């Protein structure tokens, strides 16, 4: 008699490989997971996708590679570790910190193109901070960088505006840049009200909208 045949059969529920398969199936279907487990898996999936897109953009996006090159030429080398994928609130897609870091809001990107525009936007802020020594508490300084970042990044291209519900057939790009710059300046803790944000944007509009550095023209 084969000794192996006398061993009791393995209970599938006690098999480690079976448990791994069961957990994988639960991740795919969502069945058998608690609400906390589902939320954890959702955030992890968003983070993996964000990191994958970030790597691809840092290597292959024309606008991102161009901005990184000019940051380096300006003396501000940005390691990929300073560009962080993280969960954010619902009010933004990304952010820049003057210490030299960029946050990409991992759950806010419907596609890689949206993430590319956001990363380029934040890199323009970083370029301004590096090259022009921006004082972010000064509303005029902040307004100028927001005008440039919204204009040069692709944030205000026609299809993006259409997706936001804004349609204009006359000076659509300028209207978008102005609106989004005012919103950003209004969120500055040093800004007392919307009128002050609008005034700061209007005061620097002419010089900052026409300043496309380091691009030759609006990207």
CB 166 within 8 A of CB 138: no
Q: Which two tokens stand for residue 4?
A: 């192996």
Q: Which of 64, 61, 104 is nearest to 82 (CA)?
A: 104
The residue whose two tokens read 């970083």 is: 126
- Rama region for 30: left / alpha / beta (φ>0; ψ in -120 to 50; rest): left
What is each CA distance from 106 to 30, 34, 137, 177, in whole angstroms?
21, 22, 27, 24
- Show the DSSP H helices in 30-138 as ranges: 35-60, 62-73, 112-132
> 198 catalytic, yes or no?
no
Catalytic, out of 116, 122, 146, 161: 122
Q: What is the set of active-site residues?
A: 122
């Amino acid at each position: 008699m084969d000794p192996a045949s006398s061993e009791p059969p393995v209970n599938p529920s006690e098999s480690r490989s079976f448990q791994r398969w069961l957990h994988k199936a639960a991740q795919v279907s969502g069945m058998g997971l608690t609400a906390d487990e589902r939320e954890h898996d959702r955030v992890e999936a968003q983070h993996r996708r964000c990191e994958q897109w970030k790597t691809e953009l840092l290597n292959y996006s024309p606008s991102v590679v161009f901005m990184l090159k000019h940051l380096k030429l300006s003396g501000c080398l940005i390691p990929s570790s300073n560009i962080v994928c993280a969960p954010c609130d619902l009010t933004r897609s990304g952010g820049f910190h003057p210490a030299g870091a960029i946050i990409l809001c991992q759950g806010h990107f419907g596609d890689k193109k949206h993430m590319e525009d956001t990363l380029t936007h934040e890199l323009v802020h970083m370029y301004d901070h590096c090259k022009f020594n921006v004082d972010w508490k000064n509303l005029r300084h902040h307004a100028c960088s927001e005008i440039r970042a919204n204009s040069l990044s692709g944030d205000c291209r026609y299809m993006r505006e259409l997706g936001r519900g804004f349609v204009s057939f006359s000076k659509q790009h300028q209207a978008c840049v102005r609106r989004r710059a005012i919103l950003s300046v209004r969120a500055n803790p040093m800004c007392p009200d919307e009128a002050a944000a609008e005034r700061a944007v209007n005061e620097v509009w002419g010089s900052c909208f026409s300043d496309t550095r380091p691009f030759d023209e609006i990207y």
